[in-house]
Amino acid sequence: MLIGGAGVAGAAALAACSNATSAPHGTGDGTVATGAAPSSTAPSAATTTLATPGTTAWVAGAPASYVPHGAGTRKEVALTFHLSGDPTLVATLLDLLKGASVPATVMAVGTWITAHPALTRRVVAEGHELGNHTEHHLNMGSLSRSQVLAEIVDCGKALTPFIGGIGKWFRPSATVVPSQLILDEAGKAGYPVSLGYDVDSTDNTDPGSAVVLAKVKAGVKPGSIVSMHFGHAGTITAFPHVIAHLRSVGLTPVTVSTLLAP
């Protein structure tokens, strides 16, 4: 089931990647992001009209729709990984994804991919899809309208050298359920979808691999979108067990594009 943006206009912003507060959030690699200067224009992709699966056609500039999971009509799940953190840990998790032949949807922090182009090119070369997880990984719920737009637009610009455009998917940082303001600005930036998730592995809190696995096992079902992270050792330890569980219950990991396809 795809949920339109109107249904979450009044929803409170929740914690994502780290507990949401009004202070800037770390990028996951030990640095702390600072405020971004607003950009005046969005990439040219915002002039196109796209169709979101299961909804009417999205009109360029219209608010994005919040989509936390797929329809559940096929025994597929999408593993989404927030991309930031220690490059060595990132490379190790990419090795595991490759060894398991698992495609992922990688929600990238713009400043991180700009700083680590070789690893970003590897993500794309190995068949994963890249999405927009904002430029500086700030608490999107605490930013002004112009700052929200700048965070989305600037990450789209960072993605363009690697994938030739801004990508299909946007996910706000430090926010699970996007506010109407975030949905409005995502649409202006060229994204028809604000991508959520219905399974939170909590791996970003470093609870231990057993907890990460338990969270996934407890929540995953056909159509699920799972939130996980690069840059955390517990994710690396848990990953083979997560994949083994998915396959044991007949669930196939796919990209978000495949999961949400008609």
Average pLDDT over residues 171-188: 96
Q: How far apart are CA 183 and CA 62, in angstroms?
A: 9
Q: What's the whole-model pTM score?
A: 0.82
Condensed to tens digits (0 to 9), the pLDDT of residues 72-121 reads 999 999 999 999 999 999 999 999 999 999 999 999 999 999 999 999 99
Higher pLDDT, 262 or 34: 262
Whether the predicted pLDDT of 48 surpasses 90? no
CA 152 from chain center: how many Å?
12
Which CATH fold topology does 66-259 show? TIM Barrel (3.20.20)
Question: Within a 13 Å sphere around the CA of 39, how many CA atoms are in the beta-carbon half?
Answer: 19
pLDDT of residue 56: 58
Average pLDDT over residues 203-222: 98
Higher pLDDT, 262 or 116: 116
pLDDT of residue 58: 80
The first and second tokens of residue 92, run together, are 């190790």
Q: How far apart are CA 1 and CA 128, in angstroms?
A: 24
pLDDT of residue 17: 59
Whether the predicted pLDDT of 244 surpasses 90? yes
pLDDT of residue 24: 32
pLDDT of residue 23: 32
Condensed to tens digits (0 to 9), the pLDDT of residues 157-167 reads 999 999 999 99
Task: Report the chain's mean pLDDT, rounded to a whole number.
Answer: 84
DSSP string, the chain: ----GGGGTTPPP--BSB---SS--B-SSS-B--PPPPPS---GGGGS-EE-TTSPEEPTTSPPEEE-S---SSSEEEEEEEE-S-HHHHHHHHHHHHHTT---EEEE-HHHHHH-HHHHHHHHHTTPEEEE--SS---GGGS-HHHHHHHHHHHHHHHHHHHSSS-S-B--TT-SSPPHHHHHHHHHHT-SEEE--SEE--GGG---HHHHHHHHHHH--TT-EEEEESS-HHHHHHHHHHHHHHHHTTPEEE-HHHHT--
- Out of 12-16, 172-176, 206-210, the most confident range is 206-210
The first and second tokens of residue 5, run together, are 């943006």
pLDDT of residue 241: 98
The first and second tokens of residue 120, run together, are 């970003």
Q: Using 50, 70 and 90 to split pLDDT, how confident is the model at 57?
A: confident
The first and second tokens of residue 29, run together, are 């690699």
